[in-house]
A and B are shown apart, each in its own frame.
Chain A
Amino acid sequence: QITLRESGPTLVKPTETLTLTCNFSGFSLTTTKMGVGWIRQPPGKALEWLALIYWSDEKRYSPSLRNRLTLTKGTSKNQVVLTLTNMDPMDTATYYCVHDFWDGYDIWGQGIMVTVSS
């Protein structure tokens, strides 16, 4: 059974860097065609795709956030870390990590609500 869980701060100040961790189980990010993606949703708004890291360590980023986003595999083999620099109130959102099985996304984490405020 695949599960994912996001963790990190729920409140950050403008200009700070956000670091979120996705801890997952039920699959390995060393298995061919596996990936972990990040998606966010501002309150009352639509979903926004952010980034994806593949088993091969290949990474893909949203063009609009490419300069601020970084995805890495964590120190634990079952972790993916997302960093988003220069946080702005517009980045206030629920952030989800999602399992990618090459043909698409299937299993979602519960999400973590991050508020950007001074």
Chain B
Amino acid sequence: QTVVTQEPSLTVSPGGTITLTCASSTGAVTSDYYASWFQQKPGQAPRALIYSANNKHSWTPARFSGSLVGGKAALTLSRVQPEDEADYYCLLYYGGVWVFGGGTKLTVL
């Protein structure tokens, strides 16, 4: 059973920078895992932010960026805004199937 691990919760101050990570139980996350990131606010459907590790959708705010760091996929939020408070999920590709991480609850405080 493949497990994708994210930090359960993180807190950041407005205007600050924070990095969320996404690790695979199978080993280092590489570009072959096509890491995606999604933001979900209460009562809403998730919204796609990042695909293929570091590519932004046309609607993704510039302060969001994706990368591969230290064997993990990472989502960095710069100049954090209060409206960035949400749950964030990563999604990894395993040769035909996809697996979500457990999500990170980001609090802006």
Contact = CB atoms under 8 A, between A and B. Distances in A.
Interface of A: 37, 39, 46-49, 52, 60-64, 96, 103-111
B103 A109 contact: no
Contact of B100 (A46, A52, A63): A46
Interface of B: 1, 34, 36, 38, 40, 45-48, 51-52, 55, 57, 89, 91, 96-103
A47 B51 contact: no
Contact of B91 (A49, A63, A111): A49
7 contacts: A46-B103, A47-B103, A49-B91, A49-B99, A104-B48, A106-B51, A108-B46
Contacts of B40: 47
Contacts of A107: 48
| Interface majority SS (helix, strand, loop, mixed), chain B | strand
A82 to B, nearest CB: 15
Shortest Cβ-Cβ A-B pairs, 5 listed: A104-B51, A49-B98, A108-B45, A47-B100, A104-B36
| Interface majority SS (helix, strand, loop, mixed), chain A | strand
Best-buried of B46, B89, B101 by chain A (most CB within 10 Å): B46
B98 A52 contact: yes
A53 to B, nearest CB: 13
B45 A48 contact: no
Best-buried of A48, A49, A60 by chain B (most CB within 10 Å): A49
Given A49-B91, A103-B34, A106-B51, A62 B45 contact: no
Nearest to B46: A108
A44 to B, nearest CB: 11
Contacts of B96: 60
B100 A110 contact: no
Contacts of B57: 106
Contacts of A47: 38, 40, 46, 89, 91, 100, 103
